[in-house]
Amino acid sequence: MAVSIVVPVRNEAGNVAPLIAEIAAALDGRWAYEVIYVNDGSTDATGERLATLMKQRANLRQIQHATSSGQSAAVRSGVRAARGAVVATLDGDGQNNPVFLPDLISAIERGGDRVGLAAGQRVGRQDTGFKKLQSRTANGVRNAILRDGTRDTGCGLKAFRREVFLMMPYFDGLHRFLPALVRREGFDIVYVDVIDRPRHSGVSNYGFFDRLWIGIMDLAGVWWLIRRKKPTPVATEVTCHD
């Protein structure tokens, strides 16, 4: 298994089948891959739709959270369960087009050990004016404090090495600060422009307070983590010789 695609979902029953078909169209024949849906406490038919599709697709897996724990927790559960060395993520509402997954995965492979993250940067966003204002405000404040050089951390389309993700400190909201935390670990970031589109069906499960006010405490915590980072010492084992 070379690549694992992790898709966090909550109450996205209507979007499951179309998105899985698009992922298959983008990746079939290019990599040995699996698709891991993390069902974050859905109360609709999301779990049942996935169970039906799993009978048809041997590379489809479902991880269930007993209760909704948030997007960062869902991504973490998926990465921990992943069998691929490279992990790519996208949102489960259909706004992230899987056609861009090969570009992100290839960027990680070309980057070797130097590149830790390939991050999608949305153009032509299909959100409402208010949601665009939210994102511009949050991204502006974050970049001014963390100076992570990223204009759009909210895009769900990302690819990274599994081992790089697991070495980072976990906290609720982690997925919004991946560029800053990847840089903290000494890795480079590659940016890929992706075209946004409207969600297939349903409504957003993440609101204004999830994106801004709760994020203020996370922002302070990430700033502290970056300030406290020290170079990793070069460690060698000394052995005894007769």
In a domain, 49, yes or no: yes
Return the pLDDT at 83.
Answer: 98
Q: Which of 39-48, 89-98, 220-229 is the least confident region?
A: 220-229
Q: Which residue has the tokens 């957003």?
A: 204
The tokens for 135 are: 């994102």
What is the total count of domains within the chain?
1
Q: Is 91 a domain residue?
A: yes
Position 78 in a domain: yes
* pTM for this entry: 0.81
Look at residue 119 in the predicted model and tell me its pLDDT. Answer: 94
Using pLDDT thresholds of 50, 70 and 90, give the confidence band for residue 169: confident
The string of DSSP letters for 52-110 reads HHHTT-TTEEEEEESS---HHHHHHHHHHH--SSEEEE--TTS-S-GGGHHHHHHHHHH
Establish if 235 belongs to a structural domain.
no
More reliable by pLDDT, 64 or 171:
64
**CB contact at 8 A, 2 and 86:** yes
Separation between Cα atoms, residue 211 and residue 199, nearest integer Å: 18
CATH number at residue 68: 3.90.550.10
Domain of residue 147 covers 3-228
Q: What is the pLDDT confidence band of residue 128, given thresholds at 50, 70 and 90?
A: low
Give me the chain's average pLDDT, please. 84
pLDDT at 220 over 90: no
Distance (Å, rounded) from C-alpha 8 to C-alpha 93?
9
Q: Evaluate the CA torsion angle 147, 229, 86, 113 in order and state its sign.
A: positive
Residue entry with tokens 């049942």: 48
Is 170 part of any domain? yes
> Which range, 101-110, 121-130, 134-143, 209-218, has the best average confidence (pLDDT)?
101-110
Cβ distance 211 to 133 under 8 Å? Answer: no
Integer-rounded Cα radius of gyration of the chain: 18
Q: CB pairs under 8 A, 24+ apart, for 109-114? A: 111/188, 111/190, 114/187, 114/188
DSSP conformation class of 7: E
Q: Is the pLDDT of residue 208 over 50?
A: no
Residue 240 belongs to a domain: no
Answer whether residue 241 is part of any domain. no
In a domain, 55, yes or no: yes
